[in-house]
Chain A
Amino acid sequence: MISYFRNQGLFLFSVFCALCTCFLVFAGAMVTSTQSSLAVPDWPLSYGQFFPPMVGGVFYEHGHRMVAGTVGILTLILVFVAAKHAKSQTVKKLTWLALFAVVIQALLGGITVLYLLPTSISVAHACLGQTFFCIMVAIAWIQTPLYLNIKHVDHVKLNKAVYVQFMLLLLVMIQLLLGAITRHLQAGLAIPDFPLSFGRLLPPMFNQQVLVHFLHRVWGFVIYAASWFIYFYWRKKDDKHFKLFSFLLLLLLNVQLFLGAFVVWSQKLHLITSFHVLTGALILALSVVMFLTVLKKAGLNQTSHIRSFWLLGKPRVTLMVCISALAGYLLHDVNSVFKMVVMLLATFLVSYSASAFNQLIEINEDALMERTKHRPLPRKMLEKNSVLLACALTFIIGVLLFYVQINSLSAWIAALSFFSYTLIYTPLKKKTYLSTFIGAFPGALPVLLGEVSNVGEVSFQGVLMFLLLFVWQFPHFFAIGLMYAKDYQTAGFKVLGINTLEYFKTTRSILIYTFLLLMISVLPSLFDFTNFYYLICSLMLGVLFMVMSFRLNLQNNFKHAKEVLLASIVYLPIMYVLFIVTLK
C-alpha cells in the first residue's frame, strides 16, 4: 500500500520534472530568439554574482540559467527518489542518464558563452537540451498507468509498426538538427518569404544559410507528409492508443507548420520563434513516446534488447579501438577538448558499425564457435534488418561527424577502416592464412585516425605508433587462435591449423612477433622522440611479454595462451601512455 503511494509520488514528481524541463526548453529558446546569448559574459557566475540585475538581455540569459539550475537540482532529487522507490530498473537507469545529460548540457552552455558561441557547440547545446527533455518525458511516460497496462501483442505483426515509429523518430531528430543549425547560422530569415522561396519553388541561388534554411523547410514537409501516413496507418490498424497519438501528432505538426510560416512572416518575432522551438520539442517527445510504446506492444522493450544492441558493437574491441585513436590524437597538443570528444564518439560509432556488420556477415560461423555462439544474432535476439539499419545509421553518422566536425581526411580513414575490415579482411578469413596480416592494417588504422583528427596529417611518431599496433595484432590474434583452435577449424576459418606441428609453428610465431614488437617499441627512443625512461620501461615490458610467450612455447596449453592474450591487452595501453607521456 505504502509502496503504491511512493510510486505515485515518484510518478507525479517525474511528471513535474518533465513539465519544468518543458518550460526550460522555452526559456532557453527565448535566449537565442532575443539574441541575449552573450548578455552574461561570464560563467558559471553572472557578472561575478549569483543574482545580477535582471536588465535587458540579462533577464533572458540569467533567467534561463536559473531555470536550468533548478531543473538540474530536480534531476538530482529524481535520481535519489527513483533509486529508493522505483520498481523498474529502467526508470532508475534513465534518471542517471538524465543527470549525466544535464551536467553535460550545463558544461556546453558554459563553453558556448566563454568561447563566444562557436556554432557547433551552440548546436550541440540545442540538440542535447531537447534530448534531455525527451529523457525526462520518457521517465514519466514509462510510469503512467497507460504504459504499464499495455499488453504485449504478437511481435511479428508489429514489426513494420516498430520500423515506422523508428523512422518517424529519426526524421524528427534530423529536423531538430537542421533547425538548430538554421538558428545558429542566423539563417532564420535567409529566405524572406513562405511558402515560396524568393517568389519561386526553389531559391534562385544557394549560399550556406539559404541552403540550410531550405533543407529545414523541405524536411518539415517530409515529416508533415509522414505524419499523415502514420495517421492513416494506425487508423487502418484500428489501435485505440496509437490512433490518439497519431491524431495528436498531426495536430502538433499542423501547429508547427503554421508557426514556422509565421516565424518568417513576422520576421522572427521572439515569442513565435520560441514557440516554434518548443513545439518541435513536443513533437520529438511524442515521437519518443510512440516509439517506446510500440516497442512495448511488440514485446521488444526488454533491457536484453538494449544489451543485444550493445554487444553488437563488440564493446571490448571497440574500447581498444577508441583508446588507440585517443593515443594517436594525444601525440600532439589538444587544442580543443570538444573536438577530441567528437572524435571519440565518431570512432565509437564507426567501430560499432564495423563490428555489427562483421557479426551480420558471420552469423553462421559465430553460431558454430563456442567463443561466439552467445552473440545476439546466433541467439536470434535481434532481427537481421534491425542490425543492418543500426550498422548503416552508426556508419553514416560516424563518418559525417568526422567529415563535418573534424576534417575530410579522417572521414576517409574511418571509411577505409570500415571497408577494409568488413569487405576485405572478413571474407578472406576463410580463404587464406594471410588474413591476420591483412587484418592488421584496419586493426592499426585507429592510431592514424586519431592523429589525423587532431592535426590533419600523419607524423613519423604516428607511423611508429602505427607499426607498434600493427605488429601487436599478431601475438594478440595468434593467442586467441591457440585458445580456440578447434572452434576456428570447425567454422572453417583459416587462421591456424590444429595438429601439434602447426601449434608449434604458431607458438614460435608469437615469440618471434613479440621480439619484433620489442624492437619496434624501442624505435621512438632511437629516433630521439622519447626519453631514457621510455627506453627502459619499453624494454622491460617487451621482455616481460616475450617471457610470457616463451612460456607458451615451452608448454602449449589454454592457460598459457590466455595469459599471453591478457598480457597483450595490458601491454598496449601501458605502451601508449608511456609513449605519450615521455614524448619530447
Chain B
Amino acid sequence: MSADPQCANLNKTPVFSETVVVNPNKTLKNVFVYIKDGLTQKYPTPAENVVVVFDQKNCTYSPHVFGLQVNQNLEIRNSDPTLHNVHAMPKINSQFNLGMPMKDMKMTKKFAKPEIGAKFKCDVHPWMNAYANVVEHPLFAVSDATGNFTIKDVPAGKYTVQAWHEKYGVMDASVTVEAGKDAKIDFDYKGDGASK
C-alpha cells in the first residue's frame, strides 16, 4: 500500500492478499460456482440497466471474484481519490486497459464470449487483482464468508456444476434438481492444491 500515499491513508490496518481466503469455519471464500452443462433453455441478455458493479475502493477490487452474463454491462467504478487502471486480461475475450484517474468516475464494459477466470489487475497498484467469470446464463454464485453459495431458479433437470478457485482450480459435480425442491452440492477443496 505504501507505493501510493492515498492507498496508505485508506488502509491503516494491514491488508491481506485475497488469493486464498479461508473462513473461520474452515470453508473457502471466493469460489465461483456455475452450471456448466445440462441447461436446455436459453436466457436472454440482461437489460442495459441490469449491471454488475465492480468497484475500486480502498485500493482493492471489490468484489474479488464475480460472475456476469455474456454481454451484460459491467459497471466499473473508481471510488478512490487516486488513479487506477483497470487492465483486463481474458484469454478468450478481448483485452482492455482503461485509465481511471478521477474519483467516482464510471466506465461500462461487456464481455462477448463465455470465459471462466478472466483476470483483472491494476498496473499502478500491483497487489490489486480480481477475477471475472462470464457465463451464458444467470445461474451462478460465489461462495461467501461462511463458505455457502446459492443458485436460485434452476429448472428441473440433470446438470454438471463446476466450482472454480483462482489457486485450487476447478472441480465438477453432478446434481439432479427436482421441481419444487432444493438440491445440495458440496465441493471439497484440499489445501495442497490437489484438484486441478
Asked whether A and B interact, the reply is: yes
Residues in chain A near residue B83, CB distance under 8 A: 47, 52-53, 55, 58
Residues in chain A near residue B124, CB distance under 8 A: 36, 39, 55-58
Contact of B82 among A37, A53, A57 (CB under 8 A): A53
Does A40 reach chain B (CB closer than 8 Å)?
yes
A41 to B86, CA, bound (A): 9
Does A38 reach chain B (CB closer than 8 Å)?
yes
Say whether A56 contacts B99, CB under 8 Å.
Answer: no
Say whether A56 contacts B4, CB under 8 Å.
Answer: yes
Residues in chain B near residue A42, CB distance under 8 A: 99
| Contact A37:B123 (CB < 8 A) given known A55-B5, A55-B83, A58-B83 | yes
Say whether A52 contacts B101, CB under 8 Å.
Answer: yes
Say whether A38 contacts B87, CB under 8 Å.
Answer: yes
Q: Which of B30-87 contact A (CB under 8 A)?
A: 82-83, 85, 87
Q: Which of B115-164 contact A (CB under 8 A)?
A: 122-126
Say whether A38 contacts B101, CB under 8 Å.
Answer: no
Say whether A41 contacts B4, CB under 8 Å.
Answer: no
Residues in chain B near residue A40, CB distance under 8 A: 85, 99, 123
Report the minimum CB–CB distance from A185 to chain B (whole Å): 16
| Contact A38:B126 (CB < 8 A) given known A47-B83, A53-B83 | no
| Contact A56:B101 (CB < 8 A) given known A38-B85, A41-B85, A47-B83 | no
Q: Which residue of A lies closest to B5 (CB)?
A: A55
Q: Which of A1-53 contact B (CB under 8 A)?
A: 35-42, 47-49, 52-53
Does A554 reach chain B (CB closer than 8 Å)?
no
Say whether A36 contacts B123, CB under 8 Å.
Answer: yes
A267 to B147, CA, bound (A): 35
| Contact A55:B3 (CB < 8 A) given known A35-B126, A41-B98 | yes
Report the minimum CB–CB distance from A116 to chain B (whole Å): 5
Number of A-B contacts (CB under 8 A): 60
A61 to B96, CA, bound (A): 18
A453 to B83, CA, bound (A): 42
Say whether A57 contacts B123, CB under 8 Å.
Answer: yes
Residues in chain A near residue B7, CB distance under 8 A: 55
Q: Which residue of B lies closest to A58 (CB)?
A: B124
A59 to B126, CA, bound (A): 13
Say whether A38 contacts B97, CB under 8 Å.
Answer: yes
Report the minimum CB–CB distance from B172 to chain A (whole Å): 28
What size tier do the contact residues of chain B reach? 20 to 34
Report the minimum CB–CB distance from A110 to chain B (whole Å): 13
Does B93 reach chain A (CB closer than 8 Å)?
no
| Contact A116:B98 (CB < 8 A) given known A36-B123, A57-B124, A58-B83 | no
Say whether A41 contacts B101, CB under 8 Å.
Answer: no
Report the minimum CB–CB distance from B9 to chain A (whole Å): 12
Contact of A56 among B96, B97, B98, B125 (CB under 8 A): B125
Does B27 reach chain A (CB closer than 8 Å)?
no
Say whether B5 contacts A35, CB under 8 Å.
Answer: no
Query: What DSSP secondary structure best describes chain B's contact surface?
Result: loop
Residues in chain B near residue A53, CB distance under 8 A: 82-83, 101
Query: What DSSP secondary structure best describes chain A's contact surface?
Result: loop
Say whether B123 contacts A38, CB under 8 Å.
Answer: yes
| Contact A56:B3 (CB < 8 A) given known A35-B123, A39-B124 | yes
Residues in chain A near residue B122, CB distance under 8 A: 56
Does B95 reach chain A (CB closer than 8 Å)?
yes
| Contact A116:B97 (CB < 8 A) given known A41-B87, A58-B124 | yes
Contact of B123 among A39, A48, A49, A52 (CB under 8 A): A39
Q: Which residue of B lies closest to A39 (CB)?
A: B123
Residues in chain A near residue B82, CB distance under 8 A: 53, 55
Q: Which residue of A lies closest to B85 (CB)?
A: A41
Report the minimum CB–CB distance from B25 to chain A (whole Å): 36
A61 to B126, CA, bound (A): 13
Q: Which residue of A lies closest to B124 (CB)?
A: A56
| Contact A55:B6 (CB < 8 A) given known A38-B123, A41-B85 | yes
A40 to B96, CA, bound (A): 12
Say whether A57 contacts B5, CB under 8 Å.
Answer: no
Residues in chain A near residue B99, CB distance under 8 A: 40-42, 47-48
A41 to B98, CA, bound (A): 6
Say whether A41 contacts B97, CB under 8 Å.
Answer: yes
Convert A117-161 into 0s and 1s, putting 1 for each residue whose CB lies closer than 8 angstroms to a CB of B.
Answer: 000000000000000000000000000000000000000000000
Listed residue (B85, B98, B122) with the most chain A CB atoms within 10 angstroms of its CB: B85
Say whether B123 contacts A116, CB under 8 Å.
Answer: no
Report the minimum CB–CB distance from B87 to chain A (whole Å): 6
Say whether A116 contacts B5, CB under 8 Å.
Answer: no
| Contact A48:B101 (CB < 8 A) given known A41-B87, A53-B82, A55-B4 | yes
Report the minimum CB–CB distance from B75 to chain A (whole Å): 18
Report the minimum CB–CB distance from B93 to chain A (whole Å): 13
A40 to B125, CA, bound (A): 12
Q: Which of A504-541 contact B (CB under 8 A)?
A: none
Report the minimum CB–CB distance from A344 to chain B (whole Å): 28
Residues in chain B near residue A48, CB distance under 8 A: 99, 101
Residues in chain A near residue B95, CB distance under 8 A: 116
Residues in chain A near residue B125, CB distance under 8 A: 55-57
A248 to B114, CA, bound (A): 57
Q: Which residue of A lies closest to B98 (CB)?
A: A41
Report the minimum CB–CB distance from A6 to chain B (whole Å): 46
Q: Which residue of A lies closest to B101 (CB)?
A: A47
A38 to B126, CA, bound (A): 11
Residues in chain A near residue B4, CB distance under 8 A: 55-56
Listed residue (B5, B7, B123) with the most chain A CB atoms within 10 angstroms of its CB: B123
Residues in chain B near residue A61, CB distance under 8 A: 123
Report the minimum CB–CB distance from A36 to chain B (whole Å): 6
Report the minimum CB–CB distance from B84 to chain A (whole Å): 9
Convert A47-80 into 0s and 1s, putting 1 for each residue whose CB lies closer than 8 angstroms to a CB of B.
Answer: 1110011011111010000000000000000000
A36 to B122, CA, bound (A): 10
Listed residue (B3, B5, B82, B99) with the most chain A CB atoms within 10 angstroms of its CB: B99
Residues in chain A near residue B3, CB distance under 8 A: 55-56, 59
Convert B86-109 into 0s and 1s, putting 1 for each residue whose CB lies closer than 8 angstroms to a CB of A.
Answer: 010000000111110100000000
Q: Which residue of A lies closest to B2 (CB)?
A: A56
Report the minimum CB–CB distance from B173 to chain A (whole Å): 33
Q: Which of B156-183 contact A (CB under 8 A)?
A: none
A35 to B95, CA, bound (A): 17
Residues in chain A near residue B97, CB distance under 8 A: 38, 41, 116
- Interface CB pairs A-B, < 8 A, 8: A36-B124, A38-B85, A38-B123, A52-B101, A56-B3, A57-B124, A57-B125, A116-B96
The 6 closest A-B pairs by CB, nearest first: A39-B123, A56-B124, A55-B4, A47-B101, A41-B97, A56-B3
Question: Can you name 16 extra interface pairs (CB under 8 A) apart from A39-B124, A47-B83?
Answer: A36-B123, A39-B123, A40-B85, A41-B97, A41-B98, A41-B123, A47-B99, A47-B101, A52-B83, A55-B124, A56-B123, A56-B124, A56-B125, A57-B125, A59-B3, A116-B96
